[in-house]
Structure 1
Amino acid sequence: MRSLIASLALFALSACGLQPMYAGGSNAAVGQGLAAIDVPAIPGRGGWLVRNALNGRFGAAGEASPAYRLDVRLDDSLEALGVLNDDTISRERRILRARYQLVDIASGEILLDATAGSDAGIDVVSSEYATIAAEQSALENLAEEVADRITTRIALTLRERATGDGAR
């Protein structure tokens, strides 16, 4: 009875149309496409962090002739959330937003024009050093999160392009 249920579950799963994003590893179209992306310098500390995170995910170090260029503009802001009666700030929110375009270098065509972003809450404590350290840690974590979101969206675009399914 268990084997029948397991067989039915496997059959149902195969019929749902799910496909692994990176099937074939680095030799697959998505893996090769990600490795062929050049990320020009992005201004600021947040830009440096996002660019390094993207290059780490793309595996683009040493790519001789990139096929794509990823243009990224960041908006990094810090806003006060909790203001006490004596006008001191007790909580902040760091927001990192990215507007990015994936450009086919050969044709100049923009394959993807999108945004990604994330935010984090920060407790403001009496130690200025601890608050600055928390703000920097938040920026580092947000850069990783934004890079993950950009990478996922680009991988989907490259997969659709490779399979010819651009109708989504």
Structure 2
Amino acid sequence: MWSRSRAFAVVAVAAIAGLGLAGCGFQPLYGSSTTTASGTRLSEAMSAVDVQPIPGRVGQKVRNELIFSNTGGAAAPTPRYQLKIALKERDIQQLVQVTGNAQGQVYQLQAKYKLTDIATGKVIHEGTAISRAPYTRFQEVFANVRARYNAEDRAAETVSQSIKSQLAAYLATT
């Protein structure tokens, strides 16, 4: 059992450590009061990113995920940035049987993006996001299609979250 003085000492040390961290300039990336270096709120800067259309079903999924996560479903303000994304899809066969049939597959989605400042027309940030989603192939055609769609959706969600995190980190520090 702890004595009162020992418990008080632990609380005092925790409080002092908390006060020490308060002045270090650390702020959570997705906090409601997080600001960019220019003084605008990060949420406002993220909602001012115009995500350009991406071809294909998976491209539409990535774009919709980014738009919704940046705006929260609200109307977007006048865009300050333009985001262009190019996707590359690939299937990797796993668990290949002696007959040559593959039961397991891994769907890989790679996204290369460029963030452009609309006012200057310059590319201010670019990067890559990659996701892999495994799925199993079955005898039934419909089951294969659904399994592949599910893997595509999971990969698209992961890639959009990665892009959002990279953009937020960039916009928060510049």
What is the number of residues matched between the two proteins? Answer: 161
What is the aligned partner in structure 2 of residue 49 from structure 1? Answer: 61
* One-letter amino acid of the counterpart of residue 11, structure 1: L
Q: Which of 159, 165, 170 matches 1:146?
A: 159
Residue 130 in structure 1 maps to residue 138 in structure 2:
no
**TM-score normalized by the length of structure 2:** 0.84
The answer to whether structure 1 residue 32 and structure 2 residue 44 are counterparts is yes
In structure 1, the residue corresponding to 2:29 is in which secondary structure? coil
Kindly provide the CA deviation profile for residues 14-38 of structure 1, in whole angstroms up to 9, marking residues without a partner as x. Answer: 3654311234459852111111111
The letter for the 2-side match of 1:57 is S
The separation in 2 between residues aligned to 1:13 and 1:141, in whole angstroms, is: 37
Aligned twin of 2:126: 113
Letter in 2 for 1:87: G
Q: What is the CA distance between 1:41 and its match in structure 2?
A: 0.8
- Preserved CA contact (<8 Å) 2:28 2:34: no
* Superposition misfits of 4+ residues, deviation over 4 angstroms: 25-28
The aligned runs of 1:88-99 (5 Å cut-off) are 88-99=101-112
Q: Distance in 1 between matches of 2:134 and 2:70?
A: 29
Percent identical residues: 29
The 2-side partners of 1:83 and 1:94 are apart by 15
Equivalent residue number for residue 113 of structure 2: 100
Question: In the alignment, what sits opposite 2:17?
Answer: 9
Paired residue secondary structure (2:172): helix
Residue deviations 1:44-98, cap 9 Å, x none? 1110000000001110753252111000000111121221011111111100010
Q: Secondary structure at the match of 1:125?
A: coil
Distance 1:109 1:132 in 2: 41
Q: Distance in 1 between matches of 2:155 and 2:33?
A: 27
RMSD: 2.0
Look up the SS of the partner of 1:82 in the other structure. strand
Could you tell me whether the CA contact under 8 Å between 1:36 and 1:67 is conserved in 2? yes
Deviations along 1:133-157, one digit per CA (max 9) or x if unpaired, are 1110111111111000000110111
Q: Kindly name which structure, 1 or 2, has the bigger radius of gyration based on alpha carbons.
A: 2
**TM-score computed with the length of structure 1 as normaliser:** 0.86
Q: Per the alignment, in what secondary structure is the counterpart of residue 153 of structure 2?
A: helix
